[in-house]
Chains A and B, each alone.
Chain A
Amino acid sequence: MNNILTIARHEYMVNIRRPGFIFTTLLIPALGTLALLIGSFFAGQAGAFFSNVFESESKPVGVVDHAGLFTPILPEYADEYLLYTDEDQARQAVTDDEILRLIVIPATYPAANEVEFVTTETGIAAIDIEDSGSLDRFFIAHLLRNEADPTLSERVLDPYAAQVVNPEGETEGMTGVLNIILGFVVPYVLSIFLIITIFTTSGYLLRSVAEEKSNRVIEVLLSSVSPQDLLAGKVIGLGALGLTQILVWIVAGFGLSGGVVSLLGVMIPLFARPWVFVLAVLYYLLGFILFAVLMGSVGALGSDMQESQQLGGVFTFIAAVPLMFAGLIFPNPNGLIARIFSWFPLTAPTTMMLRLPLSDVPVLDIIISIAGLLITIPFAIWLGGKLFRLGLLMYGKRPTVREIWRQLRAS
């Protein structure tokens, strides 16, 4: 145990000084700072741009009413719509840019629904007219003003307001964009960050093993400690390194966004469903241990750093598969694909970290995935120790699968 802690402390101290680690750890906050700076720099110009757009929108729309249905214009539309009696004068107003556009309603309306839009706008802005809900309301309001009772015309204009509840009749929290961001985007981004740290830190482990193999320090180490202790010490030390990285990112997030936004962004969704947070941490730890052990073992098998990294890439790829299927997991977080990925130990940590913020994951999946990881990890450590011993001392050539198998059975 003493040895494991000594190794863990050594790995932590050595790797935290690596330029690569410092770079990636500071990169994320630096990118955040950059985004803030760019944002505040362009904020002025963007503001001007948007106010221009809205100013042009706020110009009134001219109406020439040959059918007589829109005269006079209802008071609530009087700000936006301006009635012209002289069509030529109205057309001139469009040309002079006094009004946004002109609607000419022929005498044949409403028997025929064709109306003429006169505008200097082109392309998208012109198409937009068709979809304009406010224009629909303008027409409906004037068509119904003498026909129906006020309540009915009110309902025709604004037919329903949705209240989302679950089957138990409880209201589903906040609705709208903010809720989507807080309840789903933030935990999702957090999951991605956790996954990234798993890959980077287990990558350090692979590097550290491959380095000790290439500089032969490994022989001295293995003459002092067992391969299992060496592997365990490295996993703990580099795990602590990964947590340090996350901590730096979170603290930087607080600093950058003035604390409040981060608190809202990170903490509300977590405290709203604390078990999601607990499970996410659990999957993070289990996932890290599994991948660190695997990466450490294959790191020992390659004959040089590059080859070791290629071998480790296989596991990175497997773990990243759920991210590639995110398009399928997103809309259906409890679908068959998501569930199968959750049951397979190598893809379980990533899949579960993606699924947890998205929905109520079936308890069965949580049990199977955690049980699978708990069974796989001791096996991986045992196997890793063997491969370690085998791979570390085979210089110059990579052991064949047959050799590995023979060795595993032999020892």
Chain B
Amino acid sequence: MSQPVLEVDHLRKTYGDFVAVDDLTFRVQSGEIFGLLGPNGAGKTTTIRMIMDIFIPDAGTVSVLGATPRQARLRVGYLPEERGLYRDLKVKETLVYLAQLKGMDKDAATRSAEAWLDRVGLADWADKRVKDLSRGMQQKAQFASAVMHEPDLLILDEPFQGLDPVNVELVKTLMRELQAEGRTIVLSAHQMNLVEEMCDRILLINRGEGVLYGELAAIKRDYAPNAVRISGEEDVLTQLTRLEGVVDAEQNRDVLILRLGQTSPQAILAQIVELGLPIRSFEVESIPLNDIFVNVVSGVHPDGSEEGAEA
């Protein structure tokens, strides 16, 4: 990966005595989909607003596309979390206006608005008033408004909120298409399964601080429990619970999960092969991102022990 598209260094923002973002540092690489995660009130939106030059940081620097947020403003697309459009205006008219403010001339803005309304399936609604659109349709129109000026960096704050499964698929497809075009996406979302599906790397913010940062696969590896999942005949599985190095076993009919102590999954597999027991499948147990999120935020370590608030 080349030069980072977004560089955030030691960013800090306070509201009175409340520290919203504290010493936050991260990079977003060109062409990736980067997950910006965190519980409500963690400081995600404040961070995004500083990236978008809506808020001025108390300390630290933000570099967007190698420039200041203000200079880069027109090359960034932004879909805010709490969003709306002019209710009394027509859909296309609104999109054209917003695109013009992003530096497009009126003709180009009109062409782009028509193309994007078509792409999100709202072509028939172009001349309807925004208030006549359903919530899902408004969401899609707003998505179009964020991307229609062809930004190099796209910041999507909760783009899946309020969408039905069909439209979630549509937005996912559009995101992948945009990524394929070489655009970089920062995705903030609460649907961890979608983040797992879409993101290359993530940053998890809690209480204004970055608590998890890096390759999603590596993080999942780090947080993976030392456990294996085996399926097979019930009576065979029962015998496996007595294997050497197993500290805990959980059997549910033909599926067995073995938690391991000072041994590796490979050693367990070797023991099974040695014993010549027939099994249907064997896999190293992984942890859903959702569980990592919940554990980190509530201060529970992967091994299950409680940690202090500083986690």
Contact = CB atoms under 8 A, between A and B. Distances in A.
B55 A219 contact: no
Interface stretch (A3-11, A126-134, A358-366): A3-11
Nearest to B83: A216
A224 B55 contact: no
A215 B85 contact: yes
Nearest to A229: B101
Interface size class of chain A, counting residues whose CB lies under 8 Å from the partner chain: 20 to 34
B101 A221 contact: yes
Interface in A1-60: 2-3, 6-7, 10, 14
Nearest to B109: A6
A393 B84 contact: no
A403 B16 contact: yes
Interface in B220-270: none
B129 to A, nearest CB: 12
A222 B70 CA distance: 10
Contacts of B115: none
Given A14-B89, A219-B78, A411-B56, A224 B102 contact: yes
A10 B58 CA distance: 34
Contacts of A217: 84-86
Interface size class of chain B, counting residues whose CB lies under 8 Å from the partner chain: 20 to 34
Given A219-B78, A406-B16, A6 B100 contact: yes
B16 A220 contact: no
Interface of B is mostly: loop
Interface string B98-111: 10111100000000
Interface string A381-411: 0000000010001010000000100100011
Given A215-B87, A389-B54, A403-B16, A220 B97 contact: no
Given A393-B54, A403-B16, A223 B78 contact: yes
Interface of A: 2-3, 6-7, 10, 14, 211-212, 214-217, 219-226, 389, 393, 395, 403, 406, 410-411
Interface of B: 16, 49, 52-56, 58, 70, 73-74, 76, 78, 80, 82-89, 97-98, 100-103, 145-146
25 contacts: A6-B97, A10-B97, A14-B88, A211-B86, A215-B84, A215-B86, A216-B82, A216-B83, A217-B84, A219-B54, A219-B78, A219-B80, A219-B83, A220-B78, A220-B83, A222-B52, A222-B54, A223-B53, A224-B74, A226-B70, A389-B55, A393-B49, A393-B55, A406-B16, A410-B58
